[in-house]
Amino acid sequence: MPRIVTIQFISAGKLYDFEAGDLDISPRDKVVVETERGIGVGSVVVGPVERAENEAPANLLRVKRIANQEDLDTLERNTRKEKEAYEFCNRRIMERNMQMKLVRVEYLFDGSKAVFFFTADGRVDFRDLVKDLAHTFHTRIEMRQIGVRDESKMTGGIGICGRELCCCSWLREFQPVSVKMAKEQNLALNPTKISGQCGRLLCCLDYEYETYCCLRKSFPKCGKRVRTDSVTGVVDKMNILTGNITLKLDDGKLVVVKKVEITGEAAPAEIQQPRSEAPVPAAKHQKGRERRPERPAPAPREVPKTAAPAAPAPATTAPAQQATEGQPKQGRKKHRSRKHGHKPGGGGTSEGGSSTPKA
């Protein structure tokens, strides 16, 4: 069975598995290994562990040797080169007025390549800068753009808690953090309070998020009406860690109770109290036409089938027709004002009656 060791190349960096072979390796030992980028020196985190063939990762690389004094001297020499390259590159960036910030320079163990880590808001044209670096240091140059969180991990610092940053001390991988985590923990949404050195949300917001979510399930939601042995009110706010719940009573008072004192939700009868019905005032008389109650429609009358048709009206005599021709039509009445003494003409009456011909 293969013996596998776990190695890291930088403090709080990613962990890589290598095959130890027959070497006697212990944790915190410096070993020389061959990686995809070239030969490097790493620190052992977990000692050799035997694993089955089917459990071991595929394409494992073997550890070359345990680092000796000559290898450690090479590391110190590379560290001095990194400082010189950092200062030179930083001067060139300021002279060319380039919109980028140099974070760190890293030399490979064998000195075959130098990696320059930088941050920038967008794309940067650094072709002329690479030419200057290659001409000065006579090695391959790699420019790698990183994020602000990786920058804080490389530079390090002290957080607002007074301790060393988690990302450069023990946190190996970044987890996604959202504002929802701060809301769930009842934290003030002040950017200066919930942001870290990198300007992003604090990584520690994720540490207790699941605990708060589990504890909140046993608490009543804000806005629900609950009752205890003595009072009944609506949940205004709560403290998950202490178990205190603030209730707002019907009269507006705030009362703090413990979660264990709540007996359950208030019944619907307690939520909606019965109202006393006021007497309905008598209806006032309307000025206009009163609304009468609807009467039932009369039943249709039966028309006798044997009813005879109505007799035609008798013809009028000639003198009666002449008298009818002389009187005005009712549809064309002319109402004249008698204020100025006008009299109805034509010898007829004002009511439109039949006129009498003069002798």
Please determine, for residue 41, whether its predicted confidence score (pLDDT) is greater than 90.
yes
Residue 355: its pLDDT value, please? 45
Please determine, for residue 342, whether its predicted confidence score (pLDDT) is greater than 60.
no
pLDDT bucket at 318, cuts 50 / 70 / 90:
very low
Please determine, for residue 86, whether its predicted confidence score (pLDDT) is greater than 70.
yes
Q: Give the tens place of pLDDT for each residue, 102-123.
A: 999 999 998 899 999 999 999 9
CATH topology of domain 73-146: GMP Synthetase; Chain A, domain 3 (3.30.300)
What are the two backbone dihedrals, phi and then psi, of residue 239, each rounded to the nearest 5 degrees?
Answer: -120, 110
What are the two backbone dihedrals, phi and then psi, of residue 242, each rounded to the nearest 5 degrees?
Answer: -90, -20
Quick check: helix, strand or coil at residue 117?
Answer: strand
Indicate the residue type of 94: M
What are the two backbone dihedrals, phi and then psi, of residue 265, each rounded to the nearest 5 degrees?
Answer: -80, 150
Query: Helix H segments across 156-253?
Result: 166-169, 179-184, 191-194, 209-216
Q: Which of 178-182, 252-256, 315-319 has the highest mean pLDDT?
A: 178-182
Please determine, for residue 211, whether its predicted confidence score (pLDDT) is greater than 80.
yes
Please determine, for residue 269, whether its predicted confidence score (pLDDT) is greater than 60.
no
Indicate the residue type of 183: K
pLDDT bucket at 36, cuts 50 / 70 / 90:
confident
The residue ranges of every structural domain in the chain are 3-67, 73-146, 179-214, 225-267
